Amino acid sequence: MKKAIQDLYPDSLAHCYGCGRNNPAGHQLKTYLDGEQTIANFLPGEQYTALPGSVYGGLVASLLDCHGTGSAAAFVCQAESIPMTEAPIPVRCVTASLTVDFKAPVPMGKELTLTGKLISIEGRKIRVAMELSAGDALCATGEILAIRLREA
Amino acid sequence: MKKAIQDLYPDSLAHCYGCGRNNPAGHQLKTYLDGEQTIANFLPGEQYTALPGSVYGGLVASLLDCHGTGSAAAFVCQAESIPMTEAPIPVRCVTASLTVDFKAPVPMGKELTLTGKLISIEGRKIRVAMELSAGDALCATGEILAIRLREA
């Protein structure tokens, strides 16, 4: 069974509120590599309201941030033929910059799908383009510049 | 006593997880106009970890998002001489795009200060530049393009 990239991070670097398996209070987002892209799914709880009926932008940004760093790590593993089978992998990325463009209100009560595509890897800098959709509706796009940590 | 802009939003538009006074589960961020800038303070709970000892980027993005829309509303009120004394004000903004640049790890356990400065108001489009600091340390900068809702 394919593993989520966040389940392969070293234990000491797996406490992120958004995606760390070692943070029981957090969202525990899971990003999977699927061919040339990454994918994650998430169903927001009702408390994450913006205007009534829609999901607040902060959660959208949070999901894109964690999916972005996870995607960056996955694409590095793919590029360097690092097996994504068992923790710990020697790759962990953090965010240098994140841009989110909100295209449509994110409906509450629907499972969201995030995808990621590699733009570039230049040394320790990885750029990933992302989309966040609810069913067929594209709700937000994002781009991340992630930095690979020197020691992971 | 000066009121936070989020405490002036119409009741029906005050449920945001990040800053809505009508969302008891949320962060309830409060943005104040102070002369030519806006300011908000926030102390993250320990669960919002990134790598151990630092605050996760998703929360940073969330705070900048809500401080950004709040700042945009406050600057519109200032520009149009709308009194910021009692709810409801006829101004509510949502995010069209948000950019966050992470400059340094955000230390856990310190109160964070967010500031905002108006870049421009063009019709319903408001641009605001922001900074997020922990004490003297600048940790992140952000820019938001906020859109004023037609009916608020």
Q: Write the pLDDT tens digit of every residue in A1-22.
A: 789 999 999 999 999 999 999 9
Sheet with A37-42, edge to edge strand ranges: A32-34, A37-42, A112-122, A125-134, A137-148, A93-102, B93-102, B137-148, B125-134, B112-122, B37-42, B32-34
Distance from CA of B121 to the nearest CA of A (A): 19
| DSSP line for chain A | -PPPGGGSS-GGG---TTT-TT-TTS-----EEETTEEEEEE---TT-BSSTTBB-HHHHHHHHHHHHHHHHHHHHHHHTT---SSSPPS--EEEEEEEEEE-S--BTTS-EEEEEEEEEEETTEEEEEEEEEETTEEEEEEEEEEEE-S--
For A38-56, the pLDDT digits (tens) are 999 999 999 999 988 999 9
Q: How many beta-carbon pairs under 8 angstroms link A with B?
A: 120
| Residue A152 pLDDT exceeds 80 | no
The mean pLDDT of A128-147, rounded to a whole number, is 98
Distance from CA of A74 to the nearest CA of B (A): 18
Closest partner CB to A23 (pick from B26, B49, B59):
B49
Closest partner CB to A17 (pick from B18, B58, B95):
B58
Contact residues on chain A for B151, CB-CB shorter than 8 A:
none
For domain B5-148, give the fold.
Thiol Ester Dehydrase; Chain A (3.10.129)
B19, closest residue in chain A (CA to CA)? A50
Contact residues on chain B for A48, CB-CB shorter than 8 A:
17
ipTM surpassing 0.90: yes
Taking the C-alpha atoms of residue A71 and residue B141, their distance in angstroms, rounded to an integer, is 23
- Inter-chain touch B97–A100, beta carbons under 8 Å: yes
Domain boundaries, chain B: 5-148
Taking the C-alpha atoms of residue A107 and residue B141, their distance in angstroms, rounded to an integer, is 28
Distance from CA of B141 to the nearest CA of A (A): 9
pTM confidence score: 0.97
For B17-40, the pLDDT digits (tens) are 999 999 999 999 999 999 999 999
Query: Residue B22 carries which DSSP code?
Result: T
B14, closest residue in chain A (CA to CA)? A51
